Amino acid sequence: MKETRFQICVLGLGYIGLPTASIFATKGKLVLGVDVVQSVVDTINEGRIHIEEPDLDILVRAAVQSGNLKAATKPEPADTFIIAVPTPFTKLDDGSLEPDLSFIKAATESIAPCVEKGNLIILESTSPVGTTELMRQWLFEAADGRIGADDLYFAHCPERILPGQMLKELVTNDRIAGGLTPEAAVKAKELYEIFCSAEIFLTDARTAELAKLTENSYRDVNIAFANEMSMICDQLGIDVWELIKLSNRHPRVNILNPGPGVGGHCIAVDPWFVVAACPEKARLIRTAREVNDSKPQHVIDQVKQRAARFRKPVVACLGLAFKADVDDLRESPAVDIAVQLADLFPGDVLISEPHVKVLPKRLSDKAKLVPAEEAIQMADIVVLLVDHKPFKRLSRRVLDQRVVIDTRGCWATG
């Protein structure tokens, strides 16, 4: 390293933190990336990556080789701290989700010995409204009077990047800089202008927090409409793909495509943060979540119905990721469906997922990972769960004599 003083310290080196740390480093900033998993730290320090994302390996290698990016398990003093750790959830008895802020709290407390007057503290993790204020409170309590209430700048700057296009969207997507003070918002905006070519909007932290939740809740509601229509069509014997294609000919209608549910760490989770904050008012958002959460069971019921004609049916599940052409299995409805089908048909479920080399633990002793064509050849029932490009390229002839349940419209003819 050219100097020991880091300019930026990024806590959490996952799907958001690692690209963010790397892009700052390639722009000439001295960056320390922090992760609690030693193997992640070792991998990055070797110039390699532990997640799948196009071109991220090139960016990380360049950042490490330049000497501008280093990974460690503990933070060190820096000018700016960016917290990009997970925000998991706890499932309640009524099926709703309660946000778990323990990772944010732990990350905040870990920087308490390192912060200095004038530091900028940014929360990137998607969070319930008021989390940035909590972060400030946790930090001051952990600092135990070493730093004053007016000595630091706090902001919430949510990301809007899509797996598979992260590096492009980090640069080209508009951003929001929400400060606990106007001065903090301005400082955050100036920081992201280092690499962001799009517009950066100033607001307060609470509005920034709710903006990210609103964006994903909006998408969830629209997906729920499509999923509900698909279940109605199944009951009425109508091709939902043809129905949506025809309905979208209206100049002011744009119905999304249905699927087997909603996955990923954002759309499947963020709406519950809104519900948790205002349970009596967020009625539509709650209902949309319930519709989308019910879709995997609808798919399983379809398989069970088709399986009744076979003495010992073999089921092929194509895809486990939460969306097409990525390796991200977080909150994936495809995984939940595959697990339940493996329980229903023990020893007779085959999985094809071109983006993973081993099955997740929930499936590893219940199903077998095989190439798509082999799985289809051995199967009586083929369940398309993710519209990966390799599946789209499959010859329709391989599906002959198979019962096909296409939850993504991958092979739709309507």
351 and 206 fall within a common domain: no
Do 205 and 313 sit in the same domain of this protein?
A: no
| Whether residue 414 has pLDDT greater than 60 | no
Q: Which pLDDT tens digit goes with each residue over 352-368? A: 999 999 999 999 999 99
pLDDT tens-digit map of 41-55: 999 999 999 988 889
At 156, list the tokens.
């919430």
Instruction: Write down the pLDDT at residue 311.
Output: 93
Total number of domains constituting the chain: 2
Q: Indicate whether 110 pLDDT > 50.
A: yes
Query: Is 282 within a domain?
Result: no
Q: What percent of the chain has pLDDT over 70?
A: 98
Residue where a domain terminates, one of 184, 213, 242 = 213
Q: What is the pLDDT of residues 273-308, one digit of tens each?
A: 999 899 999 999 999 999 999 999 999 999 999 999
> Is residue 342, in this structure, part of any structural domain at all?
yes
Q: Is residue 2 predicted with pLDDT exceeding 60?
A: no
Residue that has been written with the tokens 């909007």 in this structure? 201
Cβ atoms of 299 and 260 within 8 Å: the answer is yes
CATH of the domain at 56: 3.40.50.720
pTM, 2 dp: 0.89
Residue 244 domain flag: no
12 and 139 in a single domain? The answer is yes
Residue 4 confidence (pLDDT): 64
Where is the domain boundary, 178, 213, 248?
213
Identify the H or E element spanning 219.
helix 205-236
Is 362 among the domain residues? yes
Q: What angle do CA 40, 42, 45 make, to 5 degrees?
A: 110
Mark whether 90 and 200 lie in a shared domain.
yes
Query: Residue 409 pLDDT more than 50?
Result: yes
Classify residue 388: in a domain, yes or no.
yes
Structural domain ending residue among the three candidates 183, 213, 243: 213
Q: 324 and 209, same structural domain?
A: no
- Look over the chain and give the mean of its residue pLDDT values, rounded to a whole number: 94
Same domain? For 209 and 313 the reply is: no
pLDDT value of residue 54: 87
Q: Which residues contact 165 (CB under 8 A, 6 or more apart)?
A: 54
Between these two residues, 186 and 4, which has the higher pLDDT value?
186
Task: Kindly state whether residues 203 and 321 are assigned to the same domain.
Answer: no
In a domain, 80, yes or no: yes
Q: Are 146 and 17 contained in the same domain?
A: yes
- How confident is the model over 380-392, as pLDDT tens digits? 999 999 999 999 9
Q: Do the beta carbons of residue 292 and residue 268 sit within 8 Å?
A: yes
Asked whether 4 and 32 are in contact (CB, 8 A), the reply is no
Instruction: Indicate whether 1 belongs to any domain.
Output: no
Residue-by-residue DSSP string for 223-241: HHHHHHHHHHHHHHT--HH
Query: Does position 1 have pLDDT exceeding 50, yes or no?
Result: no
Give the rounded percent of residues in the chain with a pLDDT score beyond 90: 85
pLDDT for 150: 85
Is 10 within the bounds of a domain? yes
Residue range 90-117: average pLDDT? 89
- Average pLDDT (133-147) is 93
Characterize the bridge pairing of strands 89-91 and 97-99. Answer: antiparallel
- DSSP for residue 349: E
Give the pLDDT confidence score for residue 88 in this predicted structure. 85
Catalytic residues: 212, 266
Q: At 390, which amino acid appears?
A: P
Domain range for 163 is 6-213
Average pLDDT of the segment spanning 314-326: 95
Residue 158 and residue 20 in one domain:
yes
Q: Would you state the pLDDT for residue 413?
A: 65
Residues 44 and 151 in one domain: yes
